Each structure stands twice: as C-alpha cells, then as structure tokens.
Structure 1
Amino acid sequence: MTRLPYDRFAKDYFKELLTPLGEVKISQDISGEVREIDVSFTPYPPEQRGDAGVLGLLGLFATTPCIFEPFRNAVSPNQIRSCMSKLFDIHASLLRRRQRDKSPLEEDDLPRLWILSPTVSETIVNGFKADPDADNWPTGVYFLGEYLKTAIVAIHQLPRTQETLWLRMLGKGTVQIQAINEIGALPPDHPLRSNALLLLSNLQFTIQASQNIDREDRELAMELSPLLLKLREEAIVQGVLQGVQQGLQQGLQQGLQLIREERRATIENLLQFRFGSIDEELSGIIDRLLNFPTQEVTGFLLQLSREELLARFGS
C-alpha cells in the first residue's frame, strides 16, 4: 500500500477514536523547519472526557498530552530519531511559551511520544536501550529513559486481548486481519464498531483504486469485503426495522440515507486521495456524482483530471 492511503486512514482513525477524550490535531506543523507531526492529542478535563475504558490500552495512552506517530512498515532508527526530534521541538516551543507567560513548566505538562510500528526488531530495542515495564504495561510496549518521554510500541508483540484491539488494528498482515475480524464480531450496538468499519471501508476503496497493489494489500482488501458487506446489510436492515416502528416508508428512507452517506464518504475520500484536499469547487460536484452508479463514479474519479471533473459535473 502506498503510504498516503495508510496515513490518511491512521489519522482519521485516531481522530475518530480520541475526539471524545480530548482535542485531536492532525498533521500539525512545527515551526522552523518544514515538518509536521501525525497526531497531536490533548486530553479534556476529567469532567468533559468520554469513556476512555472502551479504548483499552489506547485509552491509557491518551490520559496525558501526547503525540502519536504510526508507521505502516517497520520503523527504522532514523525514523525514530526524526520523531524524537519533532517531540523535542514541541517541548522547546512549550517551554518558550511558558517563559513568556511566566508560568512554570512541569514534567507532566510535556507531551509523550508514542511510536507505533507493526514490527520492531530486537536490534532497535537494544539500540535505543528501550525497556519493557511488565509491572504496568503489556508485552510490546518499550520505554526509553524517563526524561526522553518516548515509548516504542511493537504492535505484533501486543497480547491478543480486548485491551489491545484498537492498537492491533494499526498492525500489518495477520495481526491486522485478526483485529479486523474481532471488530466485525463486536455487537452491532458497540459505540466504536460502525465508525471503525466505515473507516476501513474507505481504506478498502483507496486500496482498490491504487494502481500498484501488493500481496498484503490484496489480502487485506479481500478480508475486508465480506465484513463491509455485512455492515452495509446491517445498515439497511436497521433502517427497515426502524421503519416497522415509525412507518415503513420512513424506515426505507433511513436505510437509503445510510447508503447515500456511505457513498458520499467514499467519494470524498477518493477526491482527497487524488487531489490532496477538497476545496469548494470539488465539494460542489459531490451531489451530482452521487446520482451515478458506483462503478461509473470510480472511473470518473480515477481517470478524469480536476479540470475535466469540474467541466463535466460543475454548475
């Protein structure tokens, strides 16, 4: 999979899961050198926070200010150093701000860096002198020195428990597929299940739309297909069941509306994948694209340039 679709999925994934717990900033720029951090998180005050327990280990990570840097492939020493450099820039910026405001900066105020990698070699762990904390954290979580505020998470080493599910979703190969199946097996009324599957639906679409698909991507797309079909069927059935109670016509409309919303999200995702962002002009053609069959819309978005799309579907 190209890095762009996975980056988009991972950032949307964190934003969807963590927004009830605090402020989530995606692709935050760092002053000075042109760089950005993937996901920045600041928890809400306790009285405003949602239920962190539903996120298990990820919810524990999100109890303090932190930065998440997820990697699709095994992280390298240079990538770890780059992430730590960005973390220290954030620390320095926060210190300058506190000095201007003449307010103290405590160690607990400094964000922690969580580096999430599908696999981590023993060489990496030893080279950074990263240690587990078996008394407080599960297997697969390694901490650098206390004042470095950095931890490396080896997703493939995390135990297969409910507590680690939402982190294992960011793994690769059999680890990720196992987590996907576990999410599919959650009760339909689980607070995170539908949104997680919708994000996976968008990821599947971008994988299938990519020109170069490797074996792992193909296996992932195939694994997602029956699960996402089940989600669509559940959405339609839910709409119809509501219609039995509220009127059949209204229920059918709700089912159709859910399908339309899913198609809109897919079109927006592919527009973002093709053109980087969706401005007012591109946003204006989405409603017209919804009137065409899915296969035709996919062809339009993959084959036509921005100018051709606007000329054909613009006002």
Structure 2
Amino acid sequence: MLRTVVVVLGELPRERSTLLIRLMGGGRVLREAIEELRQLPDDAPERAIAVGPLLRFRAAIAGPGPATPEEEEFVMTTQELVEQFIEQGRKQGMAQGIAQGLAQGTIALYEARFGSMPPALRSAVEAMRDLSTLQKWILLAGTGKREEVDEALSAGAAGRSS
C-alpha cells in the first residue's frame, strides 16, 4: 500500500529540526530559513549541509541574463551568507598559514640547536595544526633540552594517532 504525505513548508514550526526542509521553500519561508541558517554557529551541521548547495544555486541564478523578482530576492537574501562564508574561509586560511609558519619555525629552531630533526618528529610537527601546541613546541625547541623536545614532539605524534 502506498502512502502520500503532503508537507506545507509554511506551516512547519520555525525550529532547528525543520530548518533544512524549510530551505526548500520560497518567499517568506525561504527568507526566514536563510536568516536562521545565517545565525547558526560556523560549525553547525546544518551549515555544512546547506551552504554549498545554496551558494551554487545562487551562483547559477546570479549569472548573466534577466532574473525574475524571486531570483533577485534570493540573491539579496543570501548576500550576507556569502560574506560569512568568505570570512570563514579567510580565517581558516590565516590559521593554516600561522600553523604552517610555526611548524617550519619549530623545525628550523630545532635543527639550528640540535642538528637534523628525525623524520618521524618532522612529520609530527608538519602534521600538527593546533596553534597552542605549535606555540608550546616552538618555545620548547628554543629553550628546552633535546631530550625534552624529542619527548614532547613524540607525545604529540602519538596523541594524533590515537
């Protein structure tokens, strides 16, 4: 036996559990859902699911040619979401650059003080992305004894693999 269910998006409760389905709506329902999505934390799973398709759709309708009033409204409604996405990417890029610089500095400082860094330790340092850990390691590489530095870097590598 087949069953049919009709969902009226405008009548769904405005709560997080219905957000993704309300993003399939139009007009007021879509505007409100986009605003709710925009206000979620950057690491919200709904963002990971919805932002990519919304931005691809936005890019498709924002292209050359005449846009319908609904398409123009969608482009305007998603502008702030686009700006947040760009800013988040910029911050992630900066953090990656800082991490890479700290890692290279740790390796250079280690090698200036103790000679060639063992490959396993070098791999551990290059793979680390946690800024506070890298800051500790670079300070330790500049002030600690070789055994202390080797132990800390080895523990960091072991912690990443567990």
Q: Tell me which residue corresponds to 1:177.
A: 31
Q: Tell me which residue corresponds to 1:207.
A: 61
C-alpha deviation, 1:191, in angstroms: 2.6
Q: Tell me which residue corresponds to 2:107.
A: none
Q: Tell me which residue corresponds to 1:218.
A: 72
2:20, 2:46 within 8 Å by CA — same for their partners in 1? Answer: no
Alignment of 1:272-311 (within 5 A): none
Q: RCO (CA 8 Å, sep 6+): is it higher in 1 or 2?
A: 2
State the number of aligned residues: 104
Q: TM-score, normalised by structure 2?
A: 0.57
C-alpha deviation, 1:173, in angstroms: 0.7
Q: Deviations over 1:9-48 (max 9, x none)?
A: xxxxxxxxxxxxxxxxxxxxxxxxxxxxxxxxxxxxxxxx
Structure 1 stretches lacking a partner, 5+ long = 1-146, 251-315
Q: Deviations over 1:245-293 (max 9, x none)?
A: 332799xxxxxxxxxxxxxxxxxxxxxxxxxxxxxxxxxxxxxxxxxxx
Q: TM-score, normalised by structure 1?
A: 0.31
**Which of these residues, 80, 84, 98, is aligned with residue 230 of structure 1?**
84
Higher helix share: 2
1:169, 1:180 within 8 Å by CA — same for their partners in 2? Answer: yes
- SS of match in other structure, 2:42: coil
CA RMSD of aligned residues (A): 2.1
Higher strand share: 1
1:243, 1:249 within 8 Å by CA — same for their partners in 2? Answer: no
C-alpha deviation, 1:210, in angstroms: 5.4
Overall identity of the aligned pairs, in %: 35
C-alpha deviation, 1:159, in angstroms: 1.1
Alignment of 1:239-278 (within 5 A): 239-247=93-101
Q: Deviations over 1:56-93 (max 9, x none)?
A: xxxxxxxxxxxxxxxxxxxxxxxxxxxxxxxxxxxxxx
- SS of match in other structure, 1:232: helix
Structure 2 stretches lacking a partner, 5+ long = 105-162
Alignment of 1:47-62 (within 5 A): none
- SS of match in other structure, 1:219: helix
1:240, 1:248 within 8 Å by CA — same for their partners in 2? Answer: no
C-alpha deviation, 1:239, in angstroms: 1.7
The residue type paired with residue 150 of structure 1 is T
Q: Tell me which residue corresponds to 2:9.
A: 155
Give the 3 Å change call, closer, same or farther, for CA 176–149 of structure 1 in structure 2.
same
2:20, 2:50 within 8 Å by CA — same for their partners in 1? Answer: no
